[in-house]
Structure 1
Amino acid sequence: MVAAIEPTEQQLRDACERMARRFRWADSFETVMEDACRSRLVRLAVAHPSAAGLAAARAPRLFARRLPATALSLFDRKRAASGERDDD
């Protein structure tokens, strides 16, 4: 088994600051680190920065662009599901 490397306080503070911006945490560093769930998330972000950075980099693309409602109304799903066609 590989021994875990304990992160420095500065690494924890930096990760906590990044996560506070991302998840809109208004609590102080000390409060976050007292919370078992958020403390674990911060420690994971320090241990795996590339995974945390990758997730943050992908996040804006998830909601990048959606079709306007008018484009969606061009295709009638109920009509297509019923088998009705324009040439009938």
Structure 2
Amino acid sequence: MGLGRLSALDPKEPVRRYQRERPGELLHLDIKRLARFEGVGHRITGNRRGASQGLGYDFLHVAIDDATRLVRPQDRRSHAMAGLVQPAPAAC
């Protein structure tokens, strides 16, 4: 019966899942910061001197449509965030 633990007596809460019916009804937006680097690191070369500093970051904007699970990544340099949200429902 699997009652080796007291927690086995407590009923588990049912998983509450959600999914929208129409494309574009719910979008998940995320921004990922990606560090820039040049060349290989000190673990390969064995040289810690001459480390690259101040190369900055690239940013990746991603929109995921909840109904179709369509993912639309776009680069921040190419379009504004508003341009990311607008074409997502039309693509579905």
TM-score under structure 1 normalisation? 0.20
Which of the two has greater strand per residue? 2
Which of the two has greater helix per residue? 1
Q: Which structure ranks higher in relative contact order (CA pairs < 8 Å, sequence separation ≥ 6)?
A: 2
